Amino acid sequence: MARFGAPAALALLLAVELATAPARAALFDDDEARKRIDTLRGRVDQIERTLGQRLDALETKNAGVVDLFKDVEQIKADIAKLRGQFEVLTYELEQAQKRQRDLYLDLDSRLRKLEGGPGMPPAAGTPGATDAPPAVAGTGTFSPPGPARPGDVASEQRAYDAALDLFKSGNYSAATSSFQAFTRTYPRSPLAPSAMYWAGNAQYAQKDYRAAITTQRQLLGMFPDSQKVPDALLNIASAQIEMGDNAAARKTLEEIVAKYPTSEAAGKARQRLPAR
C-alpha cells in the first residue's frame, strides 16, 4: 500500500473530521431537543397536576353548592306546604266563625218568637212596660229616652234585621252603631234587649272588652227578665277572661249556673268552670 505523506495524511484527517462533524452536531442537537422535551414534559405534567387539583377543588365546591341548592329548594317546598296548611286553617276558622254567627242568629230568632215578636206590647212588669226605658247613647252607654213614639213594626223589623246582617257579615263596628241606633229609635221594642245584647257582642268582637261588659251589664239592669240575660252574662264572663280577670269570670260563670241552670249558657258555663 502506498504510504501517504504528512501533507496527505493531514488532508485525509481533515476530510474525515469534516465528514463526521455534521453527524456529531446532529447528535448534539438531538440531545438538546430531548432535554428541552423532557423539560417541557415536566412543565406540562406540573400544569396537569395543578389543573387536576383545581378541578378537584371546584368539584368539591360545586358539590357543596348543589347540596345547598337542594336544601334551599326543600325549604321552599316546606314553606309552600306550611302556607297551604295555614290557608286551610284560616278557611276552617272562617267557616267556624260563620257557623257560630249563624247559630247566634238562629237562637236570636227563636228567642224573639218566645219573647212575643216585634210590635207586641211588653209583658207586664218588664222594663219595656215602664214609661222611661233605657236607650243606647252614641258613646255606647245607655240613658233614658224621650217620650215614646208610635212604633212602625215593619220599619222596626227592617232596622233590626239590617243590624243583624252587619253583624253576620263581620262589620262589627257598623253593627254596634246600628244596634245602638235601633235601641234609641225603638226603646219600647221587645227587640231592644236583643239589640243591646248584640251591641255588646259586636264590641266584644272588636276586642273592646270593657265596653262589652258595660253594655251587657246595662242590659241586665234594664231588662232583668229578658231571656237574653244568661247569654249576656256569658258574654261578660268571656270578656273578663280575655282581660285576664279569672276570679271575676269564675264568679260570673257560677252566677249563670246558679240562676239559670237549665239555660244553654249554663251548659257552656259548666264547661268553662273547671278551667278557671
Give 258-275 as a 3 state SS string.
HHCCCCHHHHHHHHHHHH
Query: Between vectors from CA 136 to CA 132 and to CA 141, what angle results, nearest 5°?
Result: 110
**Residue in this structure with the C-alpha cell 485525509, named with its chain if needed:** 12
Alpha carbon distance, N-terminus to C-terminus of the chain: 143
Least reliable range by pLDDT among 65-79, 150-164, 235-249: 65-79
Q: In this structure, are residues 273 and 255 in contact, taking their beta carbons and an 8 Å threshold?
A: no
Rounded mean pLDDT of 140-165?
A: 68
Instruction: For residue 148, give the C-alpha cell.
Output: 215614646
* Residue 104 pLDDT: 63
> Does the structure show a pLDDT above 50 at 49?
yes
Rounded mean pLDDT of 59-63?
A: 72
pTM over 0.75: no
Rounded mean pLDDT of 19-32?
A: 57
Instruction: For residue 199, give the C-alpha cell.
Output: 251591641
Instruction: For residue 99, give the C-alpha cell.
Output: 257557623
* Residue 230 pLDDT: 95
Query: Between vectors from CA 228 to CA 168 and to CA 204, what angle results, nearest 5°?
Result: 50
What's at 253, amino acid-wise?
Answer: L
Q: Taking the CA atoms of 93, 94, 98 and 101 in sequence, report the sign of the dihedral they define.
A: positive
